[in-house]
Amino acid sequence: MATPEEAQVALVIAAHPDDGDFGCAGYAAQLAAQGWEIHFLVCTNGAKGTSDRNMTRERLIALRRDEQREACRRMGVSDVHFLDNEDGELVYDRRLLEQLVRYIRMLRPHTVFTHDPTDIIVRDSFINHPDHRATGTASLDAIYPTARDHLNFPEHLAEGLEPHRVREVLLWGSNQPNFDVDISTGVDRKIHALTAHVTQFGDREDFITFVRERWKAEDGRYLEQFRRIVLQF
Ligand SMILES: [Zn+2]
């Protein structure tokens, strides 16, 4: 949590449209309601998420961007930014690192949310998509050390982008969560945000039942769980 003298800005870095909503919509909406400025950055163009063979890729990209904008509006998120990397083909390279460092230096977040890239298998129940791993790894490297040191991507300085220190990192989809956020009062809002992704699942009843169960803890509360890293230096 940011102290009052620190900027209350959070950046959610997601591989695909809808990942950030699954990962942290409940907490992001809580922070937004407390006055935080929340930004979403989606690293790929979302060109792969359909089984509809009549859907054109251009139409899908445009629709999924609109869906992410609508989901963010429902969460109270201030702004959504899109990188145009190809869905399903994201690799961690200097280009991706530069893109993420640029947004961190531009938006100057206190907190960054992203994918936990540590493991390929998560909770023995899903495979961590390669785009998610590339996004998480590049985001962590961008946070430390790259965005902090003016000698990395020195061309940014000439554009007026100063080095920046992120203070807190929250990773979703982790095998080692150490930070629970009670989203019981906001779980409906999270589901409302998710259902904006009409091309993916929309408001199908089986989907809503599934997600509601997914965040329900044994004691009946709804939790988002993160691996939290507080950067002291
Ligand atoms: Zn994804």
Section 108-126 average pLDDT: 96
**Own/partner pairs for 84-87, CB < 8 Å, 24+ apart?**
84/45, 85/43, 85/44, 85/45, 86/44, 86/45, 86/47, 87/16, 87/44, 87/45, 87/46, 87/47, 87/48, 87/49, 87/131
Distance 32 CA to ligand 1 centre (A): 23
Of 39-53, 69-83, 107-121, 164-178, the one with minimum mean pLDDT is 39-53
Judge whether 141 and 97 are in contact, CB under 8 Å: yes
pLDDT at 2 over 80: no
Tokens for 71, please give them.
């989901």
pLDDT at 6 over 80: no
pLDDT 10s digits, 174-229: 999 999 999 999 999 999 999 999 998 777 888 889 888 989 999 999 999 999 99
- Token look-up 């990395």 returns 152
Alpha-carbon distance 60 to 75, whole Å?
22
**pLDDT category, 87, cuts 50, 70, 90?**
very high
Cα distances (Å, whole numbers) of residue 214 to 34, 40, 105, 149: 25, 23, 35, 40
> Which residues keep their CB under 5 angstroms from ion ligand 1?
15-16, 19
Which has the closest alpha carbon to 19: 51, 47, 41?
41
| DSSP 8-class letter at 74 | H
Please report the domains of the chain, with CATH numbers, ordered by start residue. 9-230 (3.40.50.10320)
Distance 224 CA to ligand 1 centre (A): 17
**pLDDT category, 7, cuts 50, 70, 90?**
confident
pLDDT of 4: 57
pLDDT of 207: 86
Distance 129 CA to ligand 1 centre (A): 7
Distance 88 CA to ligand 1 centre (A): 9
Tokens for 133, please give them.
């791993």
pLDDT at 171 over 90: yes
Confirm whether pTM is higher than 0.85.
yes
Tokens for 195, please give them.
């259902």
Distance 159 CA to ligand 1 centre (A): 32
The mean pLDDT of the chain is 94
Distance 194 CA to ligand 1 centre (A): 13
Length of the chain: 233
Distance 13 CA to ligand 1 centre (A): 11
